[in-house]
Structure 1
Amino acid sequence: MKFGKRLKQQIEESLPAWRDKFLSYKELKKLVRLISSAESCVEYGKADVEAEFVHLLNNEIDKFNVFFMEQEEDFIIRHKELQQRIKRVIETWGPNGTKPSEAEYKDEMAKIRKDIVNFHGEMVLLVNYSNINYTGLAKILKKYDKRTGGLLRLPFIQKVLQQPFFITDLVSKLVKECENIIDEVFPEQREAITVAGKGIFRNTVAALLSMQEIRRGSSTYGHFSLPPMDLPDSDLIHSFQLNSPIPIV
C-alpha cells in the first residue's frame, strides 16, 4: 500500500479530534512536484517554493509536538486518577472497605474497566501517531532529495529525532503500567474488558498492525527507519485479537 493511502486510512481510523493533527502529506507532495517541475519553477520561482516547503515542514513538526505533548500530559494525569479511583473503590466498597458493598464495588469496577481499556487504547494510538508522522516525513524528504537533487533529508531527520513527538518512551511506559494494573486488578476478566473497550478496540488493533507494517523492509528501510517497537509485547492486545467480537479485516 502506498504511504498516501496508508496515511489516509490511519486518519480515518483515528479519533475524530485527532484527524487534523496528522502530516499534511498531500500539500508537501504537491510542493515537491512544483519544485521539480521546470515549468513551475519558471512560473513560481524555485527558491520561493523551496522556502514554502521547508516552512511547511517546520510548521508540521511544531503541530506534532504541541499535540503530542498535550496528550502526554493528559495521559500522566489520567493514569494517576485511575490509580486513585481503583484505590478509593477498594478501600470504600471492597470486602475489607469502610462500606463493603458487592453491588457498588462491581458497578464502580465496571466503569473503571471501560475507562482503563479506552485509556490504554488512546496511548497506543498516540505511539502510532508518532510513528506514522515520522514515516511520512522520512518519505517526503526522500522524495524531495530524489526529485530535486537536494540534500535536505539527512539534516532534517536528525532534527526530527530530537523532537518531543518522536520520543515515545514515557507513553510506552504508561502503556505497560496500564497493562500491569489490568493484570493485577482484573486478572480473570479479560473478556469483560474486551467488551467494555470495544469502542476504541478496533482502532487500537489497527494502530498496532500499522506500527508493525511500517517497520518492515520498504523503500525507506535503513538509516532512517523507525527503531524496533518499544511497546511491550502485550498479552492484553493478543487476547483482544482472539476474543474480540469485532472482526479485523
Structure 2
Amino acid sequence: MKFGKNLRNEVAQKLPEWEGEFISYKDLKKQLNLIAPWNDKETKRPRKRPRMAIDNCVMMEEQNTNLTGEETGFIQLLRDELEKINSFFDDKEEEYVIRLKELRDEVAILEGSGGNATQVIRDLLDFYREMVLLLRYGVLNLEGLRKIVKKHKKKTGSFVLSPFMLRVLQQPFFSTDLLHKLLRECEATLRQLLLPI
C-alpha cells in the first residue's frame, strides 16, 4: 500500500479529529505532478548537483532564479505544510503542559481527601495515549516530508530541496524533548497513584 493511503487510513482509524492537521501529501503530489520532469527534451536542467554552501544553510530555492512557477508553487506549498505541522505540534505541546498540571492538581486534591483514584487514573492514561499519538504524528509527517522531497529530486533531478530536510530536522515537531519530559512526568504521576508508598 502506498504512503498516502497508509497515512489516510491511520489518521481515519486513530486520529480522526486531527485529520486536517497532517501533511497534505496528496496535494503535494498533485503540485509535484505539475512540474515538468528533468529528462524532458524541452526542460533544460543541470545534470550536476549544484554546489551548496555548508556554512550557510540557506534554502537553495531562495537562491535559485531558474525555478518554474510550478516549482515555486510546490516549494511554497511545502513550506506552508511545514508551518501547519509545527503550529499544530506547538499548540498541542502547550495544551499538554497545562493539562498535565491540571491532572497533577487533581491527584494532589485526591491524595488529600483520600478519594477514589479510578477516574483520575483513566484520565492520565488517556492523556498519556494522546501524547504518544502526538509522537506518532511527528513521525508520520517527517516520513511524508522525506518522501515528497525524494519524489521531487527524482522527478526534477534537482537537489534544490536537499537543505530542506536539514531544516526539517530542526523543527519543533522533530524536537520532542518537551513531549518526552511530559510523558515521563505522566508516568511518574501514574506510578504515584498505582503504587502508593
Question: TM above 0.5, one fold?
Answer: yes
> Structure 2 stretches of 5 or more lacking a match?
44-66
2:158 alignment counterpart? 150
Task: Answer whether contact 2:32 2:152 (CA < 8 A) is retained.
Answer: yes
Counterpart pick for 2:168 among 160, 166, 171: 160
Counterpart pick for 1:54 among 55, 70, 75: 75
Report the alpha carbon displacement of residue 112 of structure 1 after superposing the two structures with TM. Answer: 0.5
Task: Answer whether contact 1:116 1:178 (CA < 8 A) is retained.
Answer: yes
Report the alpha carbon displacement of residue 73 of structure 1 after superposing the two structures with TM. Answer: 0.3
Equivalences for 1:11-30 in 2 at 5 Å?
11-30=11-30
Is the helix fraction higher in 1 or 2?
A: 1
DSSP 3-state at the match of 2:34? helix
Report the alpha carbon displacement of residue 163 of structure 1 after superposing the two structures with TM. Answer: 1.3
CA RMSD, 1 decimal: 1.9
Could you tell me how far apart the structure 1 residues matched to 2:173 and 2:16 are?
A: 19
Moved over 3 A (4+): 36-39
1:8 alignment counterpart? 8
Task: Answer whether contact 2:11 2:19 (CA < 8 A) is retained.
Answer: yes
Could you tell me how far apart the structure 2 residues matched to 1:112 and 1:171 are?
A: 20
Amino acid at match of 1:24: S
Equivalences for 1:37-76 in 2 at 5 Å?
37=37, 47-76=68-97
2:102 alignment counterpart? 81
DSSP 3-state at the match of 2:170? coil
What is the identity percentage for the equivalent residue pairs of Structure 1 and Structure 2? 41
Report the alpha carbon displacement of residue 178 of structure 1 after superposing the two structures with TM. Answer: 1.1
Could you tell me how far apart the structure 2 residues matched to 1:133 and 1:79 are?
A: 25
The C-alpha deviation readout for 1:88-135, integer Å capped at 9, x for no partner, is 11112x1xxxxxxxxxx12xx122012111100110011111111011
1:170 alignment counterpart? 178
- Report the TM-score, using the length of structure 1 for normalisation: 0.64
Task: Answer whether contact 1:141 1:152 (CA < 8 A) is retained.
Answer: no
Bigger RCO of structures 1 and 2 (CA < 8 A, at least 6 apart): 2
Report the alpha carbon displacement of residue 76 of structure 1 after superposing the two structures with TM. Answer: 0.4
DSSP 3-state at the match of 2:21? coil
Task: Answer whether contact 1:21 1:63 (CA < 8 A) is retained.
Answer: yes
1:209 alignment counterpart? none
The C-alpha deviation readout for 1:3-62, integer Å capped at 9, x for no partner, is 1122112211233321100011011112222213559x8xxxx71110110000010011
2:123 alignment counterpart? 115
Could you tell me how far apart the structure 1 residues matched to 2:191 and 2:160 are?
A: 46
DSSP 3-state at the match of 1:163? coil
DSSP 3-state at the match of 1:164? coil
> Structure 1 stretches of 5 or more lacking a match?
95-104, 189-249
Amino acid at match of 1:156: F
